[in-house]
Amino acid sequence: MTERTFTAPDISCGHCTRTIERELGELEGVRHVQADVDSKAVTVQWVAPADWPTIAALLEEIGYPPAR
């Protein structure tokens, strides 16, 4: 299991965090997603076949690119 916590600066409300949790949660291999409005932090836990490039690409696609 891999875990990564990052910031998604475009998070602005609870809808954003729910969208992120739902969309990432639908990726095969993603086991846990938690997004926080106040800190704009997102923690994701995954196993194969999920990987960071796939997760980052999906975040870009739904409008919440991870901070670099």
Residues near Cu ion (CB under 5 A)? 12-13, 15-16
Q: In the block, which residue shows the tokens 């891999």?
A: 2
State in angstroms the smallest separation of the CB of 30 from Cu ion: 20
State in angstroms the smallest separation of the CB of 51 from Cu ion: 26
| Number of other CB atoms surrounding residue 5 within 10 Å | 12
Cβ proximity to Cu ion: between 28 and 61 the closer is 61
E strands along 1-68, which residues? 2-7, 30-35, 41-46
* Tokens, residue 44: 């994701």
Cβ proximity to Cu ion: between 12 and 43 the closer is 12
State in angstroms the smallest separation of the CB of 60 from Cu ion: 17
